[in-house]
Amino acid sequence: MITVTPEQDLAAATQYVQSVYESVVKRNPHESEFHQAIKEILDSLVPVFAKHPKYMQHSILERIVEPERVVSFRVPWVDDAGKVQVNRGFRVQFNSAIGPYKGGLRFHPSVNASIIKFLGFEQIFKNSLTGQPIGGGKGGSDFDPKGKSDNEIMRFTQSFMTELFKYIGPDEDVPAGDIGVGGREIGYMFGQYRRIRGGHEAGVLTGKGVIFGGSLTRTEATGYGCVYFVNEMLKFKGLSFEGSTVVVSGSGNVAIYAIEKAHQLGAKVVACSDSGGYVYDANGINLATVKRLKEVERKRIREYVNEHPHAIYIEGFEGIWTIPCDIALPCATQNEINENAARILVANGVKAIGEGANMPSTLEAIEVFHDNHVLFGPAKAANAGGVAVSALEMAQNSMRLNWTFEEVDAKLHSIMKNIYQNAVLAAEEYGYSGNLVVGANIAGFTRVADAMIAQGVV
Ligand code: GLU
């Protein structure tokens, strides 16, 4: 009888993963962000395939890396000067094995197929990790909301929804916000959907205004959830937010509520940023000012120092990682922490990283954190609070009732604790104790993969 050793299983799994990765690169050329997201996940799944060859036999990887549907469409609109503008819209419906496609819409000039596919792919595992019945999807446009009037935003979002309408629905695909898409944009899109649909289907979008089906705590959920997650990592090491110095990049929805919760837990957040530069305030960031500048006046973060003259504004957002801190929460955008920034953070004594943004650390940066035993909460786990509360919003819409802020916050808290526990246990089970990247990827993957096997080749 021929016996297969664990080493042979591992070699076969490594070869399988490598061949799928190579075929993804070949079939999706020039999509570097998508390749990066695929590589991070695939590499961490090797021990799963070695232990459970059924996933290879059912060609789960080959299927999971291919979106179920991708739509790309023209979005024409008229600007305030009467000129016709044309943007490109996307929706990637990646995987619906465990629920309707679910994921945000990003409006940013950098948006292209690679960015939306990386985000959609990550969303599959993130959504699975929440334990809620939601599949993975993502969409958006290369439209730049910066400097646009309210009327321009409305005309653009209405045109965008007029096409997106064909592909979404409360049981099919449920978009929400992401960079450049907040309550105002969701409101306009919901209005247009309702008008075309001819009915009030509240569950078609999440992040809605509370008076028309939105959930309390949805606005705060990603930032609060990220801090709840990091708190679990810290507790395990006998550490806490209390008295610690925190740097948060970004000043959008995720950053603002990460700062709020970190302050509530007794930390001092000394910096935040936007795409122009960053603010350092040794007294602790005044959140009321940031909220007003960003949520109400839609101004640049550099304006902060006009009201707080002791604070410093520095052009360019990369330098934010040179500020010494105990905890770093990257809440701005992808690849904002590279290897060099990671080394500086480590040299300055950082103890924990919580990824509030999607894929903010490069693969090399993650390696630096792991090599130096820095607690590392990967995006899929640490920022899952937003989409988790989106799923709770869907549940409330289905039941036609609303939970209180405290009820939703308590559910969010327990979901984040569960995600942490599941990631820790999965990492341990496969021999990667303490590695939450591997743990989160495996825990997210196995639910989806088992559902796919149960549902046959579809
Ligand atoms: N855009 C958020 C994310 O990256 C939220 C998505 C949602 O609520 O559907 O998870």
Instruction: Mark whether 138 is an active-site residue.
Output: yes
Does residue 269 surpass a pLDDT of 70?
yes
Does residue 42 surpass a pLDDT of 80?
yes
Residues 367, 276: Cα–Cα separation, whole Å: 28
CA of 207 to the centre of ligand 1 (A): 9
pLDDT, one tens digit per residue, over 433-457 is 999 999 999 999 999 999 999 999 9
Q: Is 102 in the pocket of ligand 1 (CB under 6 A)?
A: yes
* pLDDT at residue 7 in the model: 82
* pLDDT at residue 122 in the model: 98
- Two structure tokens written together for 177: 């916000």
CA of 204 to the centre of ligand 1 (A): 14
Helix axes 32-51, 363-371, angle to 10 degrees: 50
* pLDDT at residue 444 in the model: 98
- Two structure tokens written together for 104: 């945000």
Residues 285, 307: Cα–Cα separation, whole Å: 12
pLDDT band of residue 5 (cuts 50, 70, 90) is: confident
Residue type, 84: V
Report which ligand 1 atom has the smallest distance to the Cα of 126: 10
Q: Is 136 in the pocket of ligand 1 (CB under 6 A)?
A: no
User: Strand pairing partners for 376?
Assistant: 353
Report which ligand 1 atom has the smallest distance to the Cα of 390: 8
pLDDT, one tens digit per residue, over 18-38 is 999 999 999 999 999 999 999
* pLDDT at residue 2 in the model: 59
Residues 201, 356: Cα–Cα separation, whole Å: 30
CA of 116 to the centre of ligand 1 (A): 12
* pLDDT at residue 8 in the model: 82
* pLDDT at residue 395 in the model: 98
Q: Is 380 in the pocket of ligand 1 (CB under 6 A)?
A: no
| Whether 99 contacts 131, CB under 8 Å | no
Domains of the chain: which residue ranges?
6-65, 69-201, 221-377
Count CB neighbours of 347 within 10 A.
11
Percent of the chain with pLDDT over 70: 99
Among the listed residues 102, 126, 138, 380, the single catalytic one is 138
CA of 104 to the centre of ligand 1 (A): 5
Cα atoms in the Cβ-side hemisphere of radius 13 Å centred on 360: 28
pLDDT, one tens digit per residue, over 201-237 is 999 999 999 999 999 999 999 999 999 999 999 999 9
Residues 6+ apart with CB under 8 A from 5: none
Report which ligand 1 atom has the smallest distance to the Cα of 119: 4
Residues 91, 164: Cα–Cα separation, whole Å: 8
The domains spanning 69-201 and 221-377 adopt the same CATH topology: yes
Percent of the chain with pLDDT over 90: 98
pLDDT, one tens digit per residue, over 296-309 is 999 999 999 999 99
Ligand 1 pocket, mutate which of 128, 129, 390, 415 (most atoms under 8 A from CB): 390
Does residue 6 surpass a pLDDT of 90?
no
Does residue 4 surpass a pLDDT of 90?
no
- Average per-residue pLDDT for the chain: 97
| Whether 294 contacts 304, CB under 8 Å | no
Overall pTM surpassing 0.95 (yes/no): yes
Question: CATH number for the 221-377 domain, one of 3.40.50.720, 3.40.190.10, 3.40.640.10, 3.20.20.100?
Answer: 3.40.50.720
* pLDDT at residue 148 in the model: 98
pLDDT, one tens digit per residue, over 326-344 is 999 999 999 999 999 999 9
Count CB neighbours of 80 within 10 A.
10
Q: Return the residue matching tokens 């924990």.
A: 352
The sheet that has 245-249: what strands, in order across it? 312-315, 277-280, 268-273, 245-249, 327-330, 352-354, 375-377
* pLDDT at residue 3 in the model: 67
Q: Whose CA is nearest to atom 5 of ligand 1?
A: 387
Tell me the average pLDDT across 369-377.
Answer: 98
* pLDDT at residue 1 in the model: 55
| Whether 186 contacts 176, CB under 8 Å | yes
Helix axes 218-236, 405-429, angle to 10 degrees: 40
CATH superfamily of 69-201: Leucine Dehydrogenase, chain A, domain 1 (3.40.50.10860)
